[in-house]
Amino acid sequence: MRPATAPAESCCTDHACATESAPAAEALSDARYSWQVDGMDCAACARKVETAVRQVPGVSQVQVLFATEKLLVNAEGDVRAQVENAVRQAGYTLRDADAPAAKQTRGSLLRDNLPLLTLVIMMALSWGLEQA
């Protein structure tokens, strides 16, 4: 029985796979930007933002992640101002993805939960009247 040998044109014998790397999919001049999109509450909103940004000259790729409200843009140059303007015209606001989220104030927390608090108070009153 003879030992198996690799053919001469194999990747492992001509050292092609060890020394060469695959060409990059994107050009080196491409820049990647990301923002958080405020006011986006449905998939149609995400599609609207994506369509608006795709029309900006110089943008090569746009991706809107609805679940995380994140906008990712690959562009051939600095298009941040144009992207922010396009999103603003679409009816949404952008903030830097690295910036911390704005803290909710005490007044707005109460205002946001007022219907729930009213319901709880009314249920407690109803229960109290029933017990009397």
Specify the pLDDT at position 35: 93
Percent of the chain's residues with pLDDT above 70: 70
Residue 34: per-residue pLDDT: 92
- Which regions in the chain score pLDDT beneath 50? 1-28
pLDDT at site 96: 84
The reported pLDDT for the residue numbered 108 is 75
Q: Which two tokens stand for residue 131?
A: 């017990």
DSSP 3-state of 120: helix
Task: Provide the whole-model pTM.
Answer: 0.54
Residue 107: what pLDDT? Answer: 63
User: What pLDDT shows up at residue 100?
Assistant: 59
Strand 70-75: give its sheet, edge to edge: 59-65, 70-75, 31-38, 93-96
Class of domain 26-101: alpha beta
Q: Give me the pLDDT at residue 67, please.
A: 87
Q: Residue 89 has what pLDDT? A: 94
Q: Residue 56: which residues within 8 A CB-CB, separation 6 or more?
A: 75, 79, 82, 83, 86
